[in-house]
Amino acid sequence: MRFYINYDVNIACRVILQEQLELLNIKYKLLPLGGFEISSTVSKEKFNALKENLGRYAINIVDNQRKHLFQQIKETIVEIIFDKDKFPNTNISYYLSEKFNLSYGHLASVFSEYTYTTIENFIIIQKIEKVKKLIIEEKLNMTEISYELNYSSVAHLSSQFKKVTGLTPTVFKRIVEKRKQLID
Amino acid sequence: MKFFGLYKNTQVFKIALIVAIVVIGYIASVFYTQMQKLDTSVELIASSNKTQYELEKLLSIMGNYEMSLRNYIITQNEVYLEDRFLNRGEIEACIKNLKKIAGNDSAKIKDIDSLKKLIDYRFKLFRDLLLIQKSPRKNTSELYIKLLESSSCTESMHAFVYKRINAEISKIKRYNTNHQFELNDSIISAFLLVLLSLLILLLSFNKMNVDINELKKTNDELKFTNLSFKNAEQIAGFGHWKYNLVKNTYTFSDNFYRLMGVEPRAFEPSLENVGKFLHPDDYNSVMEVHKQSLIDHQPTSIMLRYLLQDGTVKYIMSVGSFTRNSNGDLVKIGVNYDITAQYKKTLEIEESNKQLKTINAELESFNNIVSHDLQEPLRKIQMFVSRLEEKEIDLLTPNGKEYFVKIRLAANKMQTLLIDLLNYSRVAKGDKIFVKLNLKDLVEQCIQDLSVDIEEKKAEIEVMDLPEINGIGFQMEQLFVNLISNSLKYSKENIPPKISIKSEKISGKEMYNSKIISNTDYHKIVVSDNGIGFKQEYADKVFQLFKRLETDSKYTGTGIGLAICKKIMENHNGFIKVKSRPSVGTKFSLFFPK
Amino acid sequence: MTNNLTPLQIFLADDDEDDRIFFSEAIEDIRMKNKLTLFNNGKDLMDYLLDSDASLPDILFLDLNMPYKNGLECLKEIRADNRFKDVSIAIYSTSSSEEDIENTFIEGANIYIKKPNDFSELKKVIKGVFQMNWQFHISGLNKETFFFSI
Task: Choose the final residue of a domain: B295, B323, B338.
Answer: B338
**pLDDT greater than 80 at residue C113:** yes
Interface contact B474, partner C, CB < 8 A: yes
Place C11 in a pLDDT band, splitting at 50, 70 and 90. Answer: very high
What letter would DSSP give residue B587?
A: E
* Cα–Cα distance, A143 to B61 (Å, whole number): 159
Please indicate, yes or no, whether residues A57 and A21 belong to a single structural domain of this protein: yes
- Cβ of residue B429 closer than 8 Å to a chain C Cβ: no
Claim to verify: residue B64 and residue B199 sit in the same structural domain: yes
Query: Does A162 reside within a domain?
Result: yes
Assign a CATH topology to domain C8-149.
Rossmann fold (3.40.50)
Q: Are residues B48 and B153 in the same domain?
A: yes
pLDDT value of position B553:
64
Residues A138 and A162 in one domain: yes
CA distance C60 to chain B (A): 22
Residue pLDDT, tens place only, A136-177: 888 888 888 888 888 888 878 888 898 888 888 888 988 988
What percent of chain C lies above the pLDDT cut of 90?
39
**Is there a single domain that holds both residue B364 and residue B489?**
no
User: By residue range, what is the domain housing residue A35?
Assistant: 9-61
Q: Return the number of CB contacts < 8 Å for B and C.
A: 30
Non-local CB neighbours of B135 within 8 Å, separated by 6+ positions = none
Q: Which residues of B touch C14 (CB under 8 A)?
A: none
ipTM of predicted complex = 0.86
Q: Per the domain annotation, does A1 fall within a domain?
A: no
- Cβ–Cβ of C130/A132 closer than 8 Å? no
Residues A179 and A158 in one domain: yes
User: Does residue B376 sit in the same domain as residue B442?
Assistant: no
Residue A29 has φ and ψ, to the nearest 5°, of -140, 125
CB A80 within 8 A of CB A121: no
- B585 with B462, same domain: the answer is yes
Looking at the structure, tell me whether residues A112 and A127 fall in a common domain.
Answer: no
The residue among B160, B194, B210 that closes a domain is B210
Give the closest of B375, B390, B426 to C94, CB-based: B375
Clarify whether residues B74 and B152 are in a common domain.
yes
Interface-testing mutation among B437, B445, B454, with chain A (most A C-beta atoms within 10 A): B445
Looking at this protein, which amino acid is placed at residue A51? K
Which residues in chain B are contacts of A158 at CB distance < 8 A? 445, 448
Assess whether B99 and B203 both reside in one domain.
Answer: yes
The minimal CB distance from C120 to the residues B379, B386, B415 is found for B386
* Upper half-sphere CA count for residue B170 (Cβ side, 13 Å): 5
Name the residue range of residue B553's domain.
Answer: 431-593
B382, B390, B474: residue with CB nearest C117: B382
Query: Per-residue pLDDT for C14 more than 90?
Result: yes
DSSP annotation of B248 = T
Q: Which residues of B touch C92 (CB under 8 A)?
A: none
pLDDT for C4 equals 45
Quick one: pLDDT at residue A39?
Answer: 67
Chain A CB within 8 Å of residue B440 CB = no
Domain boundaries, given as residue ranges, for chain C: 8-149
Contact A158 B448 (CB under 8 A): yes
C123 touches chain B (CB under 8 A): no
B13 or A125: which carries more pLDDT confidence? A125
**Count of domains for chain A:** 3
Same domain, A15 and A56: yes
Question: Is A3 within a domain?
Answer: no
Query: Which positions in chain A touch B451 (Cβ < 8 Å)?
Result: 159
Whether the CB of C139 is below 8 Å from some CB of chain B: the reply is no
Hey, are the CB atoms on C105 and A179 less than 8 Å from each other?
yes
Q: pLDDT band for position A97 (50/70/90)?
A: confident
Residue B587, amino acid = K
Q: Do B444 and A159 touch (CB under 8 A)?
A: no
pLDDT at B354: 93
Q: Which portions of chain B are predicted below pLDDT 50?
A: 1
For A43-94, the pLDDT digits (tens) are 778 878 888 888 888 777 766 777 778 888 888 888 887 776 666 667 778 8
- Residue C149: list chain A partners with CB under 8 A: 165-167
Q: Do B383 and C119 touch (CB under 8 A)?
A: yes
User: Within 13 Å and on the Cβ side, how many CA atoms surround B121?
Assistant: 16
- β-pair type (B238-244, A35-38): unpaired
A52 and A73 co-located in one domain:
no
Query: Given a cut of 90, is residue A28 above it in pLDDT?
Result: no
Q: Is residue A45 part of a domain?
A: yes
In total, how many domains does chain B have?
4
Same structural domain for residues A109 and A132?
no
Q: Give me the amino acid identity at A89.
A: N
List the subunits that have 3+ CB pairs under 8 angstroms with A: B, C
Q: Sign (positive/negative) of CA torsion B447, A162, C30, C95?
A: negative
Is the dihedral angle over the CA atoms B223, B224, B229, B232 positive or is it negative?
positive
Q: Nearest by CB to C94, which of B379, B390, B426?
A: B379
A146, A152, A168, A173: which to substitute to probe chain B, counting the most B Cβ within 10 Å? Answer: A168
B432 CB neighbour count, 10 Å cutoff: 10
Q: In terms of CA atoms, which chain B residue is nearest residue C17?
A: B380
Distance from CA of B434 to the nearest CA of C (A): 16
Residue spans of beta strands (DSSP E) within chain C: 8-13, 34-39, 59-62, 88-93, 111-114, 148-149
Which CATH number does the domain housing residue B355 bear?
1.10.287
Domain assignment present for residue B356? The answer is yes
Say whether B390 and C120 touch across the interface (CB within 8 A). yes
Question: Can you tell me the distance from the alpha carbon of B322 to that of B244, in angstroms, rounded to the nearest whole number?
Answer: 10
Same domain membership, residue B447 and residue B414: no
Q: What is the pLDDT of residue B376?
A: 85
Indicate whether A42 and A90 sit together in one domain. Answer: no
Chain C's closest residue to B423, CA to CA, is C97
Residue at A4 is within a domain: no
pLDDT digits (tens, 9 = 90+) for B117-166: 888 888 888 788 778 877 777 777 877 888 788 888 888 888 888 888 88
- Tell me, yes or no, whether B48 and B34 share the same domain: yes
